[in-house]
Amino acid sequence: MEVIRGIGRMREFVREQRLAGKQIGLVPTMGYLHAGHLSLVQEALKACDVVVMSIFVNPLQFGVGEDYEDYPRDLTRDSELAEEGGVAAIFAPSVAEMYPPGGYYSYVDVEKLTEGLCGKSRPGHFRGVTTVVTKLFNIVQPDIAVFGQKDAQQAIVIQRMVRDLNMPLRIIVAPIMREADGLAMSSRNVYLSPSERKASLVLSRALNIAGELAANGERDANVLRKAIETQIQAEPLARIDYVEIVGAEDLKPVEILQGRILIALAVFFGKTRLIDNRIVEV
Ligand code: AMP
């Protein structure tokens, strides 16, 4: 496995693979890999020959006061995990390689779908995501790219961007990988103190309760939201950012559950903001 730092070499690697007749898959990440990231690699390997994983903590998608500086980074460990996971090349550019000093002026913006949920709590976040993902698509020119359902809104926004802008690749969305006790895997879980780690189980528990309510015939979105909020508010270390029940495709809030519904939440444990979600089909 090769660790590539420069855009020039990345393009050359891709050219070599194409000449050899290989289909290329891209798995964009911010690194500090866990089994969730590696499951995306597995999905990619089902659909293409050669997987490139990008590892880039993108300053553009962090707001003021967020955890850009503190975000965990360990390229040595990531390289070992990625190689074991079947990645052919890591693309790990510096910030200066992606945003050369002296001015950066071009952005990609997806409207509407970025207004609610995490877009509301983190203004500018999705503009940073769609801009860097477009740059990665242009640099790697993959046939497919894999994103996680863990970041449900991100996956929908990227799919819409690819469709609206006729980007020549296919997006695959892979299921959420969880720890044995239910916590959705995240690089940010390392921030949690032992007591916060225990408290964080309330997220998957609350989503499961909502899922059961829906499975038992409850169709009032407010009842589900209240049930989730009650669970989370009973946990003293948890502070709700949002609990939303929206259409799984258009992300519009729903009153009555019908069709594919996304139940999404973001909750702070101390300074750590965790997200989780669940799809229900009624
Ligand atoms: P990140 O490094 O957190 O930006 O995540 C990179 C990619 O991995 C995104 O597409 C995420 O949705 C995906 N991902 C993160 N955590 C998980 C998880 N627990 N299960 C599946 N995919 C995940």
Confidence of residue 7 (pLDDT cuts 50, 70, 90): very high
Count of residues in the chain: 282
CATH 3.10.20.30 correct for 2-174 = no
Q: What angle do CA 57, 109, 126 make, to 5 degrees?
A: 40
Spatial separation of the C-alpha atoms in residues 188 and 241, rounded to whole Å:
16
Closest-CA residue to 148 (of 186, 183, 190)? 186
Averaged pLDDT for residues 230-235: 98
DSSP structure class, residue 31: S
CA of 234 from ligand 1 middle (Å) equals: 28
Distance (Å) of CA 150 to CA 102, 183, 187, 272: 35, 11, 12, 16
Q: Ligand 1 within 6 A of 36 CB?
A: yes
Q: Give, rounded to a whole angstrom, the gap between the first and last alpha carbons of the chain.
A: 45
Q: For position 101, what pLDDT does the model report?
A: 95
Averaged pLDDT for residues 143-172: 98
Each residue of 90-140: pLDDT tens digit?
999 999 999 999 999 999 999 999 999 999 999 999 999 999 999 999 999
CA of 189 from ligand 1 middle (Å) equals: 12
Q: What is the mean pLDDT of the chain?
A: 98
CATH 3.40.50.720 correct for 187-281 = no
Q: For position 64, what pLDDT does the model report?
A: 96
Task: Please enumerate, as own/partner, the contacts of 274-277 that have beta carbons within 8 Å and a separation of 24 or more.
Answer: 274/184, 274/186, 274/188, 274/189, 274/200, 274/203, 275/118, 275/150, 275/151, 275/184, 275/186, 276/150, 276/176, 276/184, 276/203, 276/204, 276/207, 277/149, 277/150, 277/152, 277/176, 277/207
Q: Where does CATH 3.30.1300.10 sit in the chain?
A: 187-281
Each residue of 178-227: pLDDT tens digit?
999 999 999 999 999 999 999 999 999 999 999 999 999 999 999 999 99
Confidence of residue 245 (pLDDT cuts 50, 70, 90): very high
Q: In whole angstroms, how large is the CA radius of gyration of the chain?
A: 19
In this prediction the pTM is: 0.98
% of the chain exceeding 90 in pLDDT? 100
Exposed, middle or buried by CB within 10 Å (0-12, 13-18, 19+), for 262? Answer: buried
Q: Is 217 helix (H, G, I), strand (E, B) or coil?
A: coil
Q: For position 203, what pLDDT does the model report?
A: 98
Kindly give the number of the ligand 1 atom that is closest to the alpha carbon of 187: 3
Q: For position 35, what pLDDT does the model report?
A: 98
Q: Which helix (H) or strand (E) holds 245?
A: strand 238-247
Tokens 């589900």 -> residue: 224
Q: Is the dihedral of CA 154, 159, 164, 170 positive or negative?
A: positive
Q: Ligand 1 within 6 A of 188 CB?
A: no
In this structure, what token pair is assigned to residue 163? 């469709």
Q: Where does CATH 3.40.50.620 sit in the chain?
A: 2-174
| Residue 1 identity | M
Q: For position 228, what pLDDT does the model report?
A: 98
Averaged pLDDT for residues 162-185: 98
Each residue of 9-47: pLDDT tens digit?
999 999 999 999 999 999 999 999 999 999 999 999 999
Spatial separation of the C-alpha atoms in residues 211 and 69, rounded to whole Å:
36
Kindly give the number of the ligand 1 atom that is closest to the alpha carbon of 31: 2
Q: For position 202, what pLDDT does the model report?
A: 98
CA of 188 from ligand 1 middle (Å) equals: 11
In this structure, what token pair is assigned to residue 108? 């990609």
Closest-CA residue to 47 (of 157, 153, 169)? 169
Q: For position 123, what pLDDT does the model report?
A: 98
